[in-house]
C-alpha cells in the first residue's frame, strides 16, 4: 500500500526579481504629469524667495513657520493644525470619490518608484535587456551599468534628503554647510536618513 508523502508547505517563497514593462497611454501620461508636478513643487519650494527670505521654512530653532507671507508662531499652531486637517480631509475626499488617485499618481512611493524605474530603463535598457543583463555573468558592462544605476539612485535619494532638510534649515545656509563640510549633526542625520529611506523604498 502506497502511503502518500506529506506535502511540505513552505511558509516563505524565494524572492523573485520583478521586471516591469514600460507602459504608455493616457494614465501613464497622467502619472508622469503627477511625477513632474509633485517634484517641481517639492524640490522647488525651498529655493523660492518671498520678501527677501525663504518662502516656505519651518524654522524649529526660532519657533516660527514661514508660509509665503504668513508667519506662524507657537501660539498660532492651531491654525497650522487646522490647515493640516483640511488637507487630510481633502485627501480622504479625493480617495473616496476617485478611488486610488493619490496612491496611483501622487504618493511619494509611487512617484519615486516611477522615477527610479525611469533611471533603470535609461541605464540598463528595456525589460528584456534588463533580464539578459541579470542572467549574464559579471562582466565590465554589467558592473558599470549596475554601478551607474545605483549611483544615480543614490544621487536622487540624497538630493531628496537634502531638499527635505531644506524645509527646516534655510537652504542657502545648508548649501554653504555642505560645501564647507560644516553640516550639523542633526542636519546630516536627516539628510542621510531621508535619503536612504527614499533609496530603500523606491530602489
What are the residues whose beta carbons fall under 8 Å from the beta carbon of 165, sequence distance 6 or more? 174, 187, 190, 191, 194
- Residue 33 pLDDT more than 70? yes
Assess contact for 57 and 66: CB atoms under 8 A: yes
Q: How many CB atoms lie within 10 A of CB 169?
A: 23
Mean pLDDT, residues 170-195: 91
Give phi and psi for 7, each to the nearest 5.
Answer: -70, 135
**14 within a domain of the structure (yes/no):** no
**2 within a domain of the structure (yes/no):** no
**3 within a domain of the structure (yes/no):** no
**124 within a domain of the structure (yes/no):** yes
**5 within a domain of the structure (yes/no):** no
**4 within a domain of the structure (yes/no):** no
The rounded distance, in Å, linking the Cα atoms of 149 and 115 is: 12
Q: What are 52-75's pLDDT values in tens digits?
A: 889 998 888 888 888 888 887 877
Cell output for 203: 530602489
* DSSP structure class, residue 10: P
Mean pLDDT, residues 156-183: 92
Confidence of residue 184 (pLDDT cuts 50, 70, 90): confident
Q: What are 76-116's pLDDT values in tens digits?
A: 778 778 888 998 888 788 777 776 777 778 888 888 999 99
**Number of domain units in the chain:** 1
The rounded distance, in Å, linking the Cα atoms of 75 and 60 is: 14
Assess contact for 67 and 53: CB atoms under 8 A: no
Range of the domain at 119: 26-202
Assess contact for 96 and 90: CB atoms under 8 A: no
**12 within a domain of the structure (yes/no):** no
**189 within a domain of the structure (yes/no):** yes
Amino acid at each position: 500500500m502506497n502511503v502518500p508523502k506529506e506535502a511540505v508547505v513552505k511558509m516563505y517563497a524565494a524572492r523573485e526579481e520583478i521586471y516591469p514593462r514600460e507602459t504608455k497611454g493616457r494614465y501613464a501620461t497622467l502619472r508622469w504629469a503627477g511625477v513632474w508636478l509633485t517634484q517641481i513643487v517639492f524640490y522647488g519650494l525651498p529655493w523660492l524667495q518671498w520678501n527677501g527670505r525663504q518662502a516656505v521654512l519651518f524654522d524649529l530653532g526660532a519657533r516660527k513657520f514661514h508660509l509665503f507671507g504668513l508667519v506662524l508662531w507657537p501660539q498660532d499652531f492651531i491654525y497650522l493644525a487646522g490647515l493640516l486637517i483640511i488637507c487630510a480631509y481633502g485627501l480622504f475626499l479625493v480617495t473616496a470619490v476617485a478611488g486610488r488617485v493619490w496612491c496611483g499618481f501622487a504618493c511619494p512611493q509611487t512617484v519615486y518608484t516611477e522615477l527610479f524605474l525611469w533611471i533603470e530603463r535609461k541605464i540598463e535598457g528595456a525589460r528584456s535587456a534588463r533580464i539578459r543583463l541579470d542572467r549574464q555573468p559579471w562582466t565590465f558592462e554589467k558592473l558599470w551599468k549596475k554601478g551607474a544605476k545605483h549611483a544615480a539612485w543614490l544621487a536622487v535619494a540624497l538630493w531628496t534628503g537634502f531638499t527635505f532638510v531644506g524645509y527646516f534649515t534655510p537652504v542657502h545656509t545648508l548649501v554653504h554647510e555642505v560645501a564647507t563640510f560644516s553640516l550639523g549633526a542633526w542636519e546630516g542625520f536627516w539628510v542621510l536618513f531621508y535619503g536612504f529611506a527614499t533609496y530603500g523604498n523606491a530602489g
